[in-house]
Structure 1
Amino acid sequence: MIYLFIVFAKVIEVSMATVRMVLITKGERKIGAIIAFFEVSLWVVLVSTVLDNIMENPLKIVAYALGFSVGNYLGSWIEEKIGIGLAEMQVILKDEHGEPVVKALRDKGYAVTVLKGEGKFHPRYVLLMYVQRKKIKECANLIKSVQDNAVITVSDKKAVYGGYGVVRK
């Protein structure tokens, strides 16, 4: 029973830590601080439980390590589903696909800045966009539905100020 408590508590604690770190890096300090309070409270209880008679019960170490491992996985999954913040997407398209992709994106409400580029052999469209992180896959799938081999790069952004469709508190 104690092993299940250790695994479960560690999964919760590490998941909270993962989400807290992302929130803080995205500028959500207040929520991050609240999560930190509960995270460290749980950690103190957990560590005192694990260290109590650890030499007589070394399986506590295994339970703690298992909880840590699963907590990392679960925390990153939760953070991805929450998808707080914005990402910058850069897209390079064949010239003939440029206008149809831009139209499709704008019809779905995405703000798109278009630059004309030059590839090795042909002209290219270069699209610059700031997209909510939770909509990255949807946006990429929309682009790929028009040009399946478009070059798409995604970079995480801490903050974006101004621009169409971009709101920052």
Structure 2
Amino acid sequence: MLDALLIVIMQFVLVPLTTLRTIFVVKGQIQKASMLGGVEALIYVISLGIIFSDLSNYLNMIAYAIGYSGGIILGGLVEKKLAIGFRTVNVSVLDKDIELIDMLRYEGFGVTVFEGEGREGNKRYRLDIVVKRSREKELMDLLNVKAPKAFVVAYEPTGFKGGYLVKSMKKASKQKLLKR
């Protein structure tokens, strides 16, 4: 019974680590991914060693499956809480709402405005906003209040070069260094 409990706990640790390792690999943070992978491998070998030492003990196998399933839920919660990375949010509106644009910029969001044309030749405006994932909900809440009829699409960018976001990140990191 103690082995089964240990297996569940190890899976609750292993699977969230796997989730984070995958995120770090996708985001190009290979050193962090490598360190997590080493810990992950150790936990994996220990838990499977316990299971393979007595294949007639079905409780250990069930514990592994339960721990794995629970670990997936836990990993998702951890990933959501950490909110690593950025989102690009495209907001399509019918009118060029200067008040909305200024408010978003005041709140610290980088906003680029494009003018386009709709199906019947009507002008449309697209706001491109790059936001840290940790602030995505805040942005969506503002948009729901200030532009409830807007068409909103969010996706994850794969790289950055220049622009408002890069400048503000560099400025923030310099300020952190000066505080030390």
Q: Give 1:5-154 correspondences, 5 Å limit.
A: 5-55=6-56, 57-95=57-95, 98-120=97-119, 122-154=122-154
* Residue 62 (structure 1) shift: 1.1
Residues in 2 aligned to 1:150 and 1:113: alpha-carbon distance in whole angstroms: 16
Show CA shifts across 1:127-168 (max 9, x none): 112111111111111111111232111111222121102348
2:156 alignment partner, SS class? strand
Partner of 2:178: none
* Residue 14 (structure 1) shift: 0.7
Residues in 1 aligned to 2:29 and 2:158: alpha-carbon distance in whole angstroms: 11
Which is further off, 114-123 or 82-91?
114-123
Show CA shifts across 1:77-121 (max 9, x none): 21121111111111111316x222211100101111101123345
TM-score, length basis structure 2: 0.86
TM-score, length basis structure 1: 0.91
Percent of residue pairs identical: 29
Moved over 4 A (4+): none
Which is further off, 117-126 or 105-114?
117-126
* Residue 36 (structure 1) shift: 0.8
Question: Which one-letter code corresponds to 1:88 in the other structure?
Answer: T
Residues in 2 aligned to 1:63 and 1:94: alpha-carbon distance in whole angstroms: 55
Which is further off, 98-107 or 32-41?
98-107
Assess if the C-alpha contact under 8 Å between 1:93 and 1:151 holds in 2: yes
* Residue 3 (structure 1) shift: 1.5
RMSD: 1.7
Show CA shifts across 1:53-87 (max 9, x none): 122x1121111111111111111221121111111
